[in-house]
Homo-oligomer: A and B are copies of this chain.
Amino acid sequence: MSDDLTRAVEALLFAAEEPMSAEEIAAHLEGADVRAALDELQALYRPRGVVLVERGKRWQFQTAPDLAHLLRREREQARRLSRAATEVLAIIAYHEPVSRAEIESIRGVQTSAGTLDVLMEAGWVRPAGRREVPGRPVIYATTPDFLSHFGLTSRRDLPGIDELKAAGLLDKVDDAFEAAFARDDPTESAEEVASDGERP
């Protein structure tokens, strides 16, 4: 089966301590084009106990999900995230990049600094610059490790993101309000709706 390049890519990914991008793999193989080898390996391993997955453009071998019950280490049960932290993580993942004020406006409560710290400490969330609006608030986004941890190839893989987007549930309330109110009440004049949106 495998030619030398495929074997080499396989060996590198097995040996790597971190997921590797195609570019990183190629850098170890004198710039060879490794795309075909990655595809071949992925197909080869698909039915196996170990599978090759792509997470945020980085590739890694990991055990097959259906074998989780055999491998789960009871004592090493990952610390459970608080409900606040899981919600904040979901909001960042589905809306990124997003400021703390925007997170709070969705949740309806203040977010303590500790919640974001917990997510950043886990390596799933990072500051991603500042929003260029008054006050220049810090905005947050997810990391490649977030994709790895939750088994996502990319953010497009987030569960239900397409449906949420289609339903407008990732739009701001103000935007959704304007759209919905204008639609529901055709007698309302455009000016009035617009002024609603601007109320302080």
| Contact surface of A with B, Cβ cutoff 8 Å | 1-2, 6-12, 14-15, 28-29, 47-50, 61, 63-64, 67, 70-71, 73
Contact = CB atoms under 8 A, between A and B. Distances in A.
Contact of A7 (B9, B11, B64): B64
B11 A50 contact: yes
Contacts of A6: 49
Given A10-B48, A14-B50, A15-B63, 10 more contacts: A2-B49, A6-B49, A7-B48, A7-B64, A7-B67, A8-B70, A11-B63, A11-B67, A14-B49, A14-B63
8 contacts: A1-B48, A7-B48, A7-B64, A10-B50, A11-B49, A11-B67, A11-B70, A12-B49
Contacts of A9: 49
Contact of A10 (B1, B8, B12, B49): B49
Contacts of A50: 10-11, 14
Contacts of A14: 49-50, 61, 63
Instruction: Count copies of this chain in the complex.
Output: 2
Contacts of A8: 49, 67, 70
A73 B28 contact: yes
Nearest to A14: B50
A1 B64 CA distance: 15
Given A8-B49, A10-B49, A71 B15 contact: yes
A142 B100 CA distance: 58
B1 A47 contact: yes
**6 closest Cβ pairs, A-B complex:** A10-B49, A7-B49, A11-B49, A11-B63, A11-B67, A14-B50
Contacts of A63: 11, 14-15
A23 to B, nearest CB: 14
Contacts of A73: 28
